[in-house]
Structure 1
Amino acid sequence: MKIGNFGKNVFMLAGGTAFAQALSFLLIPIITRVYTPQEYGVLAVYASIIGLLGILGSMNYELAIPIAESEKKAINVLFLSILTLTISFMVLVLLFVFIGDQFLILLNSETLIEYKYLLPIGFFFIGLYNILTQWAFRRKGFKVITKTKYKQAILQNLSTIGLGVIGIGSIGLLIGKIVGQSAGISSLLNPLVKKERGLFTKINKRYLIWAAKRYSKFPLYTTPRRYLGDITIVLPVLFITSLYGAKEAGLFGLANSVIQLPMNLVGTSVSSVFYAESASLRATDPARLKKISNKLLRNLIFIGFIPLIVLLLFGPYLFSIVFGSKWSEAGIYASLLSIAVFSRLIFKPISNIFDVFEKQKTALILNVLRLVLVLAVFGTSKYLLLNTYWTVGLYSLTMALIYFIQYLLAQKILNDAVENFEKNILVARKG
C-alpha cells in the first residue's frame, strides 16, 4: 500500500474521531454545568476500573486477527477472542455478585459500590467492540470504523446530557459511557455476518486450539504488558481519590479527558492505521516501514507542538472560561499533564511495533519498569505529603520519560528487522 493511501486512511479515521472529539468538546461545557465535580469523579473512577478490567477481556487474542496468515486462521482467532471474552464476562459477573463490594473497597473505589453491576456490562461491550474492530482492520474497513465513531459520539453525549438534565446524578454519566462504548458494534458485525458468513464453517476445535497455542504470546506477554501500561494511566485517579477525595479526582478526570483530544484525534487514528500497515509490511518491506515511522514522528511533533504550548501557558484560564469557574483548577492539572500527553502523541503510535514483530516480552519488561516508576511517584507524594500539583507534575514527567524509552526500543526492533531482511536477501542471491 502506498504512503498516500496510508495518509488517506489516517485522515478517514481521524475525521471520524475529529467529529467525535469536536462534538464532545462542544458539549462538555453543558455536561460540566449539569454535573458536579464529585459526580464527574464517580465517572473518572468508573473509567479507571474499566480500564483495569477491560484489557483482560479477550486476553488480547484479537490483536492476532490482522496478522493471521490465512482467512481460516483469522476467523478462528476471531471466534477464540469472543469465546475468551464471554468466559471473562461470566467470571466478572460472579466476582461482583459475591465479592464486588470488597473488591471495590480494595481499589479505593467505594463510590462505585451502588453502580457495580454496570462494570461487567461496560467490560463486555468494550471487549466486543475491540475484537470486531481488529477484524475490520484486517479488511481495511476504515470507513465502517469511522462510522462507529460518529454513532458513539452522538449517542453518548445525548444520553449523558439528557439524563443529567433530569437530575439522576452520577448514574447518568455512567449510562452515557456504556451507550458510547456499545454504539457501533452492529455496524462492525454486519459485514461479517452478511458477506462473510461462509467463514463460520471453517471454525473448528482443532484450529481453535492451534490459534490459542500459536498466538499464546498475546495473553502471556501482551496482556500483562498492556495491563501494566494501562494501569499507570488509570492509577492516578484511584490514588487521587484515595489521597485527596472525589472532587479532586473529578477535576483531574476532566482535565485528562479534555487534553487527550489531540491523542484521540490524531494519535489513535495514526496508531490504528500504522498497526494495520505494519502487519502487511513487516515481512515484505521493513525498510519502508522504518521510513513511515520516521515521517510519522516528524508530523506528530508538528501537530502536537502548538496545543502543548497553549495548554502550558493558558490552561487554567481556558478551563475557567469554557467549563465554568468551579473547574478552573482542572486547567492547572491540564497544564501539568500536557507534557505526558504530548509525549504519548508523538511516541505511542510507533510503539505498535512490539506487537507486530511479536516482541511482547521486551514490552512487558518495559511496562514493569513503568509501573515501578509510577508507584514510586505516588509513594513519594504520600510519604512527603505533596499536594496534588506536585503529584500530577511528577507523574507527567515520568510518563514522558517512559514513552521516550518505549520509542527508542521500537526503533531498535525496526532497525534489526531491516538489517535481517537485507541479510536474507543477500543470502538468497548468493544461493
Structure 2
Amino acid sequence: MITFSLTPVISRIFDPSDFGVAALFVSIATIISVAAPLCYDRAVVLPEEDERGALLAWLALLSLIAVSGLGMLVLGLLYVFGIPLPFADRIGAWIWLVPATVLLMGFIKIQEGWLTRSKRFKVMAASDVTQALLTTGGRLSCGALWGSSVWALIAGQLAGLVGQTLLMLRMAHPSSWSAPGARSWKALQQVAREFKDFPLYNATAAFTLSFSMNLPVLVLGYMFAPEIVGFYAMANRLARIPLNITAHSVRRVYLQRAAMLRNNGKPLRGMLTKTTVFLVLLGAVPFGIFWLYGEQFLTVFLGERWRKAGHFVEILVPWLYMIWNTIPSGALMVVLRKQALWLRIQVGGIVTRLGVFLVAYLMAATPEQTLTAFVAVSVLGQLIIIAITFRLERKDWEQRAQRGGPNR
C-alpha cells in the first residue's frame, strides 16, 4: 500500500518514456535472478531436517554468486570485443548494474526460503515494507531534486533492494543456516545430487515463467516507443497490487503446509480445492473493479498523460486474476516434485506467447490489439495448469494410498 499511495506523486514527476526504460532494466534483472540460485531456494522448505535445508540454502547462495559473476564476465567480454550489449541502446550504462541487481534479488529469495522454513513470516513482512519504503522514497527524492530521469528510477530500485538485504542480514543472519555439517563440501555434493531436479528442471521452468511474465516489456520495447513500455509497466504494476499484497505470503504459507501434509502422509486435495476457491472469491472484487473502471480510475489517479495505462489495465486484468488463482497449483508442482512437467508447460506457454507477438508484429497490430491477444492465450494457459494440477494430486494420492497411506 505504500507504493500504491505514493504512485500519483511518482506519475506526475516521471515521464512514461523514462518509466519504460527503468521497467526494461528491472525486467531483465528479474528474469535472471529467478533462476540464478538454480531454485535451490525453493527446495529449502522441503527436507524434514534443518541440516539438509541449510545445505540447500548454501547451494543456492553459491549458485547465485557464480551466475552473477558470469553475467559480469559476459558483459565485459562483449564490451571488449565491441559486440553491442543487449538493450544497451535503451538502458545505457545502467546495463552494467544488472549483475549486482541480480545478486541482491537472488539473495533476498534465498533468505525468504530459509525464513519460510523457520516460519518467521513477520521478518519477511518487515523486509517487504522496508523495500517498498526505500524504493518509493528514493525515487521521490531523486525525482523531486533532479526531475524525471531513468537513473532516478533505477537508483530508487537499488536502494530498496539494498535496504531489504541489510534488514534480513540483521534480523536473520545467514549464520542461522550453519547447522552441523552445513558447509561441508561432501554434504553439499550429496544434497546437490539428491535435489538435482531443481537446477535441471525447476530453474529452467522458473526462468521460462519469469521470461514469459516479463515478455511484454521486452517485446513492446522492441516493437514500440519507450512510452508504450512505460504505459504497460505502470498498468501492470497497479493491476498487480491485489496480487502482490498477499501472493508471496500465500505461496510461502501454502508451500510450507502442503509439504508438511505430504510428509505426514496426508491428502492434499482438500487444501488445494479450498485455497483455490478462496483465492477466486477473494480476488473477484479488486480485480473486477480494475477490469470495469481501470481507465477512469487511473486517469484521475495518475494524471491525464497516463490515460493509455488505464486502458492497458482493463486489458491485463483477466490474465493477472488467473495468475492469482493458480498460486496453489504452482506451489503444489514443487511439493509433488513435478519439475520436468512444469518445465514443459512453461516452455509450451512461452512458445505460444512468442507466436502471438510474432503474428501481431507481422500484422502491424496496435499495442492494444497485441496485449489483448497475449492475455487471451495466457488465460487459457492458466486454466490448463489448474486442471493438470488437480489431476496430478489425485494420481499422487492414489499412488501413496497403494503404498499403505491413510484413507481420505
TM-score normalised by structure 2 residue count: 0.94
Equivalent in 236, 240, 244 of residue 224 of structure 2: 244
Aligned residues of 2:37 and 2:63 also touching (Cα < 8 A):
yes
Cα distance, 1:363 vs structure 2: 0.4
Whole-angstrom CA distance in 1 between matches of 2:142 and 2:395: 53
Equivalent in 385, 401, 404 of residue 422 of structure 1: 401
Whole-angstrom CA distance in 1 between matches of 2:209 and 2:230: 22
Q: Which amino acid aligns with 1:339?
A: P
Does the C-alpha gap of structure 1 residues 56 and 301 become closer, same or farther in structure 2, counting only changes over 3 Å? Answer: closer
Identity %: 21
Aligned to 2:197: 217
Aligned to 1:116: 95
Which range is displaced more, 292-301 or 246-255? 292-301
Instruction: Give unpaired runs (5+ residues) of structure 2.
Output: none
Alignment of 1:377-392 (within 5 A): 377-392=356-371
Aligned residues of 2:79 and 2:85 also touching (Cα < 8 A):
no
Runs of 4+ that moved beyond 6 A: 101-104
Equivalent in 325, 349, 357 of residue 336 of structure 2: 357
Equivalent in 286, 306, 311 of residue 332 of structure 1: 311
Whole-angstrom CA distance in 1 between matches of 2:301 and 2:6: 10
Equivalent in 300, 303, 309 of residue 279 of structure 2: 300
Aligned residues of 2:356 and 2:374 also touching (Cα < 8 A):
yes
Aligned to 1:75: 54
Aligned to 1:61: 40
SS across alignment from 1:117:
helix
Cα distance, 1:202 vs structure 2: 3.8
Q: Which amino acid aligns with 2:366?
A: N
Whole-angstrom CA distance in 1 between matches of 2:172 and 2:332: 27
Does the C-alpha gap of structure 1 residues 102 and 144 become closer, same or farther in structure 2, counting only changes over 3 Å? Answer: farther
Which range is displaced more, 66-75 or 107-116? 107-116
RMSD after superposition? 2.2
Whole-angstrom CA distance in 2 between matches of 1:194 and 1:217: 25
Aligned residues of 1:101 and 1:110 also touching (Cα < 8 A):
no
Describe the superposition over 1:123-165 as per-residue Cα deviations: whole angstroms up to 9, x where unpaired: 0000001001101111111111111111111111111100111
Q: Which amino acid aligns with 2:207?
A: Y
Whole-angstrom CA distance in 2 between matches of 1:175 and 1:104: 26
SS across alignment from 2:179:
helix
SS across alignment from 1:66:
coil
TM-score normalised by structure 1 residue count: 0.89
Aligned to 1:89: 68
Describe the superposition over 1:50-87 as per-residue Cα deviations: whole angstroms up to 9, x where unpaired: 12211231111111111124222222211111111111
Does the C-alpha gap of structure 1 residues 190 and 201 become closer, same or farther in structure 2, counting only changes over 3 Å? Answer: farther
Aligned to 2:207: 227
Whole-angstrom CA distance in 2 between matches of 1:371 and 1:46: 20
Alignment of 1:9-408 (within 5 A): 22-99=1-78, 107-108=86-87, 110-167=89-146, 169-190=149-170, 192-193=172-173, 196=176, 199=179, 202-287=182-267, 289-408=268-387
Cα distance, 1:198 vs structure 2: 5.3
Does the C-alpha gap of structure 1 residues 202 and 195 become closer, same or farther in structure 2, counting only changes over 3 Å? Answer: closer
SS across alignment from 2:404:
helix
Kindly tell me the number of residue pairs found equivalent between the two proteins: 406
Whole-angstrom CA distance in 1 between matches of 2:11 and 2:137: 14
Cα distance, 1:181 vs structure 2: 2.2
Aligned residues of 2:182 and 2:188 also touching (Cα < 8 A):
no
Whole-angstrom CA distance in 2 between matches of 1:83 and 1:195: 15
